[in-house]
Amino acid sequence: MITIMAVTTINSQTEKSVKDVHGLSVGETAPKFYAMDADSNQFSLEEALKKDPVVLIFYRGFWCPVCNKHLGSIQDSLKMIEEKGAKVIAISPEKPEYLDKMAVKTGAKFTLLYDEGYKIADAYDVTFKPGAMQLFTYNIGLGAKLKETHSDKSQQLPIPATFIVNQNGKIIWRQFDPDYKKRSSVKEILKALEENLDF
């Protein structure tokens, strides 16, 4: 079994720029992880996969208008995704109290997880360090306050990406694009769940 610790040890030694991040590929084994939700309940990917395939969505934070719109659209069509037999999980580096803010903004009824120390994002190779101008925009213009809302002061973020993991623990589909405005659509997720679960 691939462990978060082994991957994190390698990745956390250096901060990556957006061009150095590529995301795990279709066909790879999805790293297992534990993480806390907004109510301090522990989520286990391994346990979740015993019941359903999982749609993993990495998002930047409650301050991100594109993230709000994306997760809102997922919530609007959540029943359709769940009818395909899948569970939706959304992950960010924000502390639990900010997960609550995101839930209020988007109406999300699916699980939101706190990626403490970027361990999960590191394992899925989606962690990067924004440039100085980006950080100014995020922290001052959008009120992200990354040094306060994250577990450390490094101000790293995940590239917004979506991975579908089947019950065998394999990544069967992904949407990954360094352009934060490009996100997985409900239509794409539904199609992937229909076509690829036996991969």
Q: pTM of this prediction?
A: 0.90
Considering its fold, how many domains does the chain have in total? 1
Grade residue 147 by pLDDT with cuts at 50, 70 and 90: very high
As a whole number of angstroms, the distance between CA 152 and CA 169 comes to 30
Q: Is residue 10 part of a domain?
A: no
Pull the structure tokens for residue 72. 């809102």
pLDDT recorded at residue 55: 98
Domain range holding 169?
A: 52-179+187-193
Give the max Cα distance, the chain.
46
Q: Is residue 21 part of a domain?
A: no
Is pLDDT of 197 > 90?
no
Q: Is residue 67 part of a domain?
A: yes
Q: Which whole number is the average pLDDT over 45-53?
A: 96
Per-residue CA distances from 81 to 89, 109, 188 (Å): 12, 13, 11
Is pLDDT of 11 > 80?
no
Q: Is residue 103 part of a domain?
A: yes
Q: Is residue 36 part of a domain?
A: no
Is pLDDT of 195 > 90?
no
Q: Is residue 29 part of a domain?
A: no
Q: Which whole number is the average pLDDT over 171-198?
A: 92
Count CB neighbours of 190 within 10 A.
Answer: 16
pLDDT one-digit tens code per residue, 85-100: 999 999 999 999 999 9
Is pLDDT of 169 > 90?
yes
Under DSSP, is residue 148 helix (H, G, I), strand (E, B) or coil? Answer: helix
Closest CA to 89 of 26, 125, 41, 43: 43
pLDDT recorded at residue 120: 97
* CATH number, domain with residue 174: 3.40.30.10
Q: Is residue 98 part of a domain?
A: yes
As a whole number of angstroms, the distance between CA 135 and CA 138 comes to 5
Q: Is residue 82 part of a domain?
A: yes
How confident is the prediction for the chain on average, in pLDDT?
91
As a whole number of angstroms, the distance between CA 15 and CA 36 comes to 24
pLDDT one-digit tens code per residue, 61-74: 999 999 999 999 99
Closest CA to 33 of 115, 94, 111, 156: 115
pLDDT recorded at residue 198: 61
pLDDT recorded at residue 103: 95
Query: Residue 138 — left, alpha, or beta (φ > 0 → left; ψ -120 to 50 → alpha)?
Result: alpha
Residue 156 near residue 129 (C-beta atoms within 8 A):
yes
